[in-house]
Structure 1
Amino acid sequence: MFKPATLIIAMAAALSGCQTTNEAPKPVVEKEIVVKQAVNNEAENAKLNVLLEAYFQQSSDLAPMYGTYLGEEKYFSQFDLPVFEARAAYTQLVDNYRKQLSEIDPNKLSGQAKLSYDIISRDLELAVRAREFPNILLPINQMEGLHNELAAFGSGESAQPFNTVADYRAFLARAKGFKPWLESVKEAMRQGTEQGVTLPKPLAMKLVPQFAAHVVYNAEDSLFWQPIKRFPVGFTAAEKAALVAEYKEAIMTDIIPAYRDMAEFLEEVYIPKCRTSVGFSDLPNGKAWYQLQIESHTSLALGADEIHDIGMQEVTRIRSEMEKVREQVGFNGDLQAFFKHLRDSDEFYFDSAEAVIKAYEEVKKTIDAKLPLLFDVAPKADYVVKAVEAFRAESAPGASYQGPSADGSNPGIFYINTFNLKAQPKFIVETLSIHEAAPGHHFQIALQQEIEDLPSFRKFAGYTVFAEGWALYAESLGKEMGLFSDPYMWYGRLVDEQLRAMRLVVDTGLHAKGWSREQAIAFMLENSSMAESDVTAEVERYIAWPGQALSYKLGQFKIRELRDYATSKLGAKFDVKAFHREVLIDGAMPMPILEAKIKAWVAAQL
């Protein structure tokens, strides 16, 4: 387990030795100043750390569904507050901690505490700025919502434990909070229809099957019945009988009706009033709202037009690399014909979901053996490969990662979506595994959780631009690790990079330049060999999460820029393992803070 060093005492000791014989009184004064400064810094550091732990705990208390991933038992029986209550509570929380933070002197902070101060200050400022926009009127979409989280928990396949009778009853208590929360979601969406702030119609329509999937006529046919089918050894007959009756009652009288009512609300009330446009720029104050989304997700001061242009340049560059692969494999035809060949030829696709999972399990072994070439730190937690659950597969991305539990009892999960085998070509196995697992998301997120003495809000926080930027940067390390030797696997790497480049174009096109959903789909099909179903899901994801998809390429650019900077400044002293360690050892953070940290690290070696 890597523990970042605290340098203040060492610095004080070094400075106290800087004495000369011709100015005897002065060093004594310097020594006293340095010692006092060290004491002041430690006191202010401790004050900030107490504040940060309280902030994290209170934030988690407001989001017990998220808190479940931390493995804290107190959250297992709780559901999140209804959305309007949650907003009021969070507003109060932010204002309270901004006030407390103003009482901290940043000039007296050092080491991790200074980094934490810079990070939390930015987070709270963005939270205040977000109040200008009616985010609450868009409480769910086809990509995220506690309706899917509850189903994942209730299936027994996620973070919700089902090991004891108390665990089983904790979930029943949690499920009681679902209907009140869902009623508040309906009210927020009703208000959205009145204020012209709704989901685009295609996205709202994708929500219907997510709710309808849980409408069954027998409790035994429900996803929520799965824990009953898998009672742990040791439950008595009486305990089992009681739980069977309680679960049947909860599923039939609480859970299923809530899902059914929401499906009907969407079809009968919400969808008929949804907007036909797709971009944020079409919403009230939408351009400013989108710009805040860009800043929130990327942490960079870039405008939509600049990002769009960067994306177009990258798409052109990567297409030229794809042309080289086409020539290398001897394909007769232009790039579009090559794309069609890769989409349509069965040789490039698996014939079963089981074969997909097996391929990723095999490449895991290969990559794990090569990681020491570029890294001298690694997480203790392992990860497993699983197929995305059927109830959410249609709208889920092609792959995703879920971090390990905080206590290490559950491994990380690398989810592969096997809903459409044509969306999982064989040639992306290496690059997708690098991105989602090691040394990408699993490496970064699991390692972050294991760092000693890191404040909890940083152990478990995520910054899209850092996490996704790192994962895409990790893909670029494939050749350095001896991967991508097969030209088709290298093409798979280009496919993944092209996807991220296209996102710069499409996200800004949709939300700032008036692009339609169909125009965005056509652009992606023109510039990649992705399956149309995969492209459609991607485009609808960008519509639902404005700005999020920009983080990948922009984060990768910044990390690569910092590596180039360190290489040029340090020359022969540059050690790639040390660079990777320095990027990872303090957890995720906004890019400007990472940049300042890396440049200080470089300067210390000169």
Structure 2
Amino acid sequence: MRFSFAATVSLAVLAMGLGSCASIQPAPPQVALTLTPTDPADAHNALFALFKDDDEATLKLNPMSAIYRGDLRYADRFGDYITDAYYDATRAQAEASLARLHQIDRAWLNETDQVAYDVFDFQEKDLIESLSPRILPLTRVRPLNHFYGFQSAYPTFASGKGGAPFATLLDYENNLRRHAGYVTWIDRAIGRFREGEAAGVVETKMTIRNVIEQLDNQLAQKPETSQYYTPVTMFPASIPAGEQARLKTQYRAAIVGQLMPATKRLRDFLATEYLPRARDGSGEMYMKGGDALYRYQIKSTTTTDMTPEQIHALGLSEVARITSGFKAVQGEIGYQGNLPQFFDYMRTNARFQPKSRQALTYGFYAIGKEGQARIPGLFSSVPKAKLAIRPYDPTIEKFQAGGSYEQGTPDGSRPGTFYFNAYNLPERQTWGMTTLFLHEGEPGHHFQVSLAQENDALPPFMKFGGNTAYVEGWALYAETLGYDMGFYKDPYARFGTLNDEMLRAMRLVVDTGLHSKGWTREQSIAYMLSHSGMGKTDAIAEVERYIAIPSQATAYKVGALTIQKLRKKAETELGPKFNIRDFHAQVLMTGALPLAILEAKIDRWIATRKAG
């Protein structure tokens, strides 16, 4: 999706995708192309010219997206985020591109180009709907909460350990220029919140309290220990000593004179004005227009026509199925007691608690090394990009998920990064490490994101875009490959993967429970603790995540079940002609597809293999 420059895998980064250049005017209508209707070459060229033009316009509207891709042409700009001009320009661009697409005769495209045509058509229509008068007024006035927004993502981005490069003197100076844009965004966010107050469309008290705590953590830091200061503690040797001294002075001045005052303005506004007017009910059903918004979000996130009621029922069914798997593991281990007692044993026994952040890091690297030996049997293509593994920064870890992935650059100059959560180590469990690595790292997000963006045969929107159902569906499916790779012969590791699968099943129940059935935060936490071995810290973070980003969590299971269904169908219909490496190539090598388009593609592949 255009709004994501991290393929939706990191939700803080996902929120940063709503950007534009410093001064935006609505995009002019694009010039229509006259095609020779019987010339496939002209149809292909027209299609890819459209993709190229649309991508270029999108990068100009979203300079931060360009930086994440390693394109630094607009790196001196932050973006005109959340302005009416930005929304108008984005909508105009999408409408013009969609009209231009429909001038191309799809019938004259080859099969791969038809897939690209269908994906672009789907995404542009969804983007336009998200910017419609029915949806946009419900989202633009809630520009941030504890799970998305620049206030949590930008400090890491600008830290020298995130998306912004710091290899040259210009990189350091561009970072200073972007700081001014971030400060402007903070003040605009305050203005949008005030619009929401007037319209009766407000965030929850819980999410705003969490944001205030995030901001308090940032404000408590001294300038020299701030993430914003880190780049000037790690200069490349190519920057002269005199320039280093100047930059240190300027970076500290920006922190003291710009960044921290703006952070305090936002913090004080939220604490004194907005929080008393925020809503008590956790779910969107308690917000003006929330029911219609949630139904749209479900449709957009899952790329299906499923309703909240259907997703809730699917979740209950999956919870029952996975519960049977827990009971089987309990019997294999020989634990005496009921299932809730078994969960408590698994979440509290000291033997399963990691000793340190460093031990977790070493453990994840060991899992990765073991997995690399088994990857060739399942995949014909592997990423060129390396995978880095590191914990979240301590200032943000409390409100983060158990792990996330941040994409690298297509040329490999910045590796993909798997972030894991080391907050409150006694409530982290080693039995969950394997499945978490398979999901966030290899062969999960790192494979899916990197193989797409390294594939020069794909147009940019397919290399760098995505939808949650496919992206997270693939990562959850990748967890199940631990069975093929032999990781789950150990019953404790198998408990770990069942626990993570149960998490995704419970998400279907809890997300829809919160937003369409009136479930409370406390009721949702209790449900998750009683049906799995997850710790209370994780359960709280998960539930507060669903409150903050409605519908996102439902896409994992919907996507994974679709891929599993397609694999089973291929195995059954192809028999000895089925090849798992070829199947995975079919799923992965055309980027993130809406689920109906993925199903149609696999059906065509099955038919071709059967005929051959």
Assess same fold via TM > 0.5: yes
User: 1:69 touches 1:406 (CA, 8 Å); kept in 2?
Assistant: no
Write the distance in 2 (CA, Å) between the matches of 1:578 and 1:166.
45
Further displaced range: 269-278 or 37-46: 37-46
Q: Kindly provide the amino acid, as one letter, of the partner of residue 362 in structure 1.
A: A
User: 1:218 touches 1:252 (CA, 8 Å); kept in 2?
Assistant: no
Specify the SS of the correspondent of 1:414. Answer: strand
Q: Which residue of 1 aligns with 2:554?
A: 550
Specify the SS of the correspondent of 2:140. Answer: helix
The partner residue of 2:504 within 476, 482, 500 is: 500
Aligned-pair CA distance for 1:88: 2.1
Aligned-pair CA distance for 1:241: 2.1
Write the distance in 1 (CA, Å) between the matches of 2:424 and 2:316.
29
Q: Which residue of 2 aligns with 1:122?
A: 122
Further displaced range: 491-500 or 443-452: 443-452
Q: Kindly provide the amino acid, as one letter, of the partner of residue 165 in structure 1.
A: L
Residue 303 (structure 1) aligned with residue 307 (structure 2): yes
Q: Which residue of 1 aligns with 2:213?
A: 209
Higher Cα Rg: structure 1 or 2? 1
The partner residue of 1:372 within 372, 376, 379 is: 376
Write the distance in 2 (CA, Å) between the matches of 1:430 and 1:177.
40
The partner residue of 1:263 within 267, 272, 279 is: 267
Aligned-pair CA distance for 1:347: 0.9
Q: Which residue of 1 aligns with 2:44?
A: 45
Write the distance in 2 (CA, Å) between the matches of 1:306 and 1:290.
14
Q: Which residue of 2 aligns with 1:70?
A: 69
Further displaced range: 475-484 or 213-222: 213-222
Q: Which residue of 2 aligns with 1:318?
A: 322
Write the distance in 2 (CA, Å) between the matches of 1:352 and 1:496.
22
What is the RMSD of the two structures over their aligned residues, measured on CA atoms?
1.6
User: 2:301 touches 2:552 (CA, 8 Å); kept in 1?
Assistant: yes
TM-score, normalised with respect to structure 1: 0.92
Write the distance in 2 (CA, Å) between the matches of 1:42 and 1:282.
53
Residue 476 (structure 1) aligned with residue 475 (structure 2): no
Q: Which residue of 2 aligns with 1:80?
A: 79
Specify the SS of the correspondent of 2:379. Answer: coil
Identity %: 36
Write the distance in 2 (CA, Å) between the matches of 1:459 and 1:524.
36
Further displaced range: 235-244 or 556-565: 235-244
Q: Structure 1 residues 123, 332: CA separation in 2 closer, same or farther (over 3 Å shift)? A: same
Q: Kindly provide the amino acid, as one letter, of the partner of residue 291 in structure 1.
A: R
Write the distance in 2 (CA, Å) between the matches of 1:58 and 1:420.
44
TM-score, normalised with respect to structure 2: 0.91
Write the distance in 2 (CA, Å) between the matches of 1:262 and 1:83.
16
Aligned-pair CA distance for 1:39: 6.4
Q: Which residue of 1 aligns with 2:106?
A: 106
Aligned-pair CA distance for 1:216: 5.0
Further displaced range: 70-79 or 259-268: 70-79
User: 1:159 touches 1:405 (CA, 8 Å); kept in 2?
Assistant: no
Once the two structures are superposed, residues 145-200 of structure 1 have per-residue CA deviations (whole angstroms, 9 ceiling, x without a partner) of 12223201221111211122111111001111112111111111111122221111
Residue 589 (structure 1) aligned with residue 593 (structure 2): yes
Further displaced range: 562-571 or 278-287: 278-287
Q: Which residue of 1 aligns with 2:421?
A: 417
Aligned-pair CA distance for 1:248: 2.1
Write the distance in 2 (CA, Å) between the matches of 1:576 and 1:82.
43
**TM alignment of 1:389-404, pairs within 5 A:** 389-404=393-408
Specify the SS of the correspondent of 1:588. Answer: coil
User: 2:40 touches 2:109 (CA, 8 Å); kept in 1?
Assistant: yes
Q: Which residue of 2 aligns with 1:147?
A: 151
Aligned-pair CA distance for 1:296: 0.6
Residue 458 (structure 1) aligned with residue 462 (structure 2): yes
Aligned-pair CA distance for 1:202: 0.6
User: 2:348 touches 2:427 (CA, 8 Å); kept in 1?
Assistant: no
User: 2:392 touches 2:422 (CA, 8 Å); kept in 1?
Assistant: yes
User: 1:94 touches 1:127 (CA, 8 Å); kept in 2?
Assistant: yes
Write the distance in 2 (CA, Å) between the matches of 1:234 and 1:303.
57
Q: Kindly provide the amino acid, as one letter, of the partner of residue 127 in structure 1.
A: L
Q: Structure 1 residues 423, 587: CA separation in 2 closer, same or farther (over 3 Å shift)? A: farther
Write the distance in 2 (CA, Å) between the matches of 1:478 and 1:575.
18
Aligned-pair CA distance for 1:203: 0.8
User: 2:567 touches 2:583 (CA, 8 Å); kept in 1?
Assistant: yes
Q: Kindly provide the amino acid, as one letter, of the partner of residue 59 in structure 1.
A: T
Unmatched segments (≥5 aa) in structure 2:
1-34
Q: Which residue of 1 aligns with 2:443?
A: 439
User: 2:354 touches 2:429 (CA, 8 Å); kept in 1?
Assistant: yes
Q: Which residue of 2 aligns with 1:408?
A: 412
Write the distance in 2 (CA, Å) between the matches of 1:61 and 1:211.
30
Q: Which residue of 2 aligns with 1:578?
A: 582
Q: Which residue of 2 aligns with 1:529?
A: 533
User: 1:387 touches 1:418 (CA, 8 Å); kept in 2?
Assistant: yes
Write the distance in 2 (CA, Å) between the matches of 1:62 and 1:209.
31
Q: Which residue of 1 aligns with 2:27?
A: none
Aligned-pair CA distance for 1:37: 9.3
Write the distance in 2 (CA, Å) between the matches of 1:112 and 1:148.
39
Q: Which residue of 2 aligns with 1:348?
A: 352
Aligned-pair CA distance for 1:93: 1.6
Specify the SS of the correspondent of 2:235. Answer: coil
Write the distance in 1 (CA, Å) between the matches of 2:110 and 2:142.
40
